[in-house]
Amino acid sequence: MPDRARGTKYACPVAIRHDQAIVLRSYPFGDADRVVVLVSPNNGKIRTVAKGVRKTKSRFGGRLEPFTHVDLVLYEGRNLDTITQVAIVEPFRRLRGNLDAVVGAGLMVEAVDAVAQEEESSLRLFLLLQRGLKALDAGYYSPDLITAFLLKLADVVGVAPALMECASCGRRDGLTRFSFAGGGVHCHNCQPEGGVRLRAGITAYLDSLAQAELMSLPTLDASLSGEAMGIARRFLEHHLDRKLFSLAAIE
């Protein structure tokens, strides 16, 4: 496929390009404009300017709300690209009518925003976010969905925690502690510094969520779901070196 059709930014000599992306967030810029931050499968995180979208007569302001999957036409600028056309591919309309789903989607885009890099292909990251939003749109909101999403995100960025064997020695039994800095579960012989003691069954719980499809999560022991989400959150926050604010609203 030629570079232009793929939407590659720098191999293409023309100033106008096409791209597909999911809107992560936007913030006011100037009097009536917005800077819109998106994640694209080809170009990773992209920052763009949408001119005049805060005016009520804007032709495409409604298409650039967070969580929307859009097809864009961009005019390349020196610092930020300017959006000249937007078409909606998938609005994820149903999730917007459910407060829990909106908070869950907010967490997903916050986490993706934290790991996505500019000018770097991020197909797996894009597809994971798309699957997560589809699951929320289909009404599958639950703390387990968030935990599964965070574990899969850790895998996509290359820091998946060891869950079924000791991160230090590879042993598969006696896994009693979890170390955020040490890369996952540890056996009682390998005492990691700063490790936390685990309740029985929590590693298997986390592992089933890490392996499952987001749209068909297994039914598990609900009493473990809060602790499992806390472990996934702290693990990802440790490796990203930043807090995920949206989770505070869920927990």
Partner 1 sequence: MFEGPVQRLIDELARLPGVGRKTAQRLAFHLLTVEEADARRLSVAIADMREQVGQCRRCFNVAAGEECAICRDVKRDADVVCVVERPQDIVVVERTQEFRGLYHVLGGSLSPINGVGPDQLRMAELKNRVEGESIQELIVATNPTVEGDATAMYIAREFKPLGVRVSRLASGLPVGGDLDYADEITLGRALAGRMEL
Please give the residue ranges that form the binding site for partner 1 (CB under 8 A). 25, 31, 56-57, 59-63, 65-68, 86, 88, 91, 93, 96-99, 102-103, 106-107, 109-110, 245-246, 248-249
Measured distance CA(63)–CA(71) in Å, rounded? 10
**In the complex, minimum distance from the CB of residue 93 to partner 1, in angstroms, rounded to a whole number:** 7
Helices and strands: H and E segment counts in the chain: 7, 8
Q: Please name which of 43, 30, 31, 95 lies closest in space to residue 66, comparing C-alpha atoms.
A: 95
End-to-end CA distance of the chain: 45
What is the token pair recorded at 59?
């032709």
In the complex with partner 1, which residue's Cβ is closer, 86 or 228? 86
In the complex with partner 1, which residue's Cβ is closer, 61 or 183? 61
In the complex with partner 1, which residue's Cβ is closer, 32 or 196? 32
In the complex with partner 1, which residue's Cβ is closer, 139 or 170? 139
Measured distance CA(71)–CA(67) in Å, rounded? 13
**In the complex, minimum distance from the CB of residue 105 to partner 1, in angstroms, rounded to a whole number:** 8
**In the complex, minimum distance from the CB of residue 68 to partner 1, in angstroms, rounded to a whole number:** 8
Strand ranges of the sheet holding 196-197, from the earlier edge strand across to the other edge: 184-187, 175-179, 196-197
**In the complex, minimum distance from the CB of residue 249 to partner 1, in angstroms, rounded to a whole number:** 4
In the complex with partner 1, which residue's Cβ is closer, 2 or 97? 97
Measured distance CA(49)–CA(57) in Å, rounded? 17
**In the complex, minimum distance from the CB of residue 208 to partner 1, in angstroms, rounded to a whole number:** 27
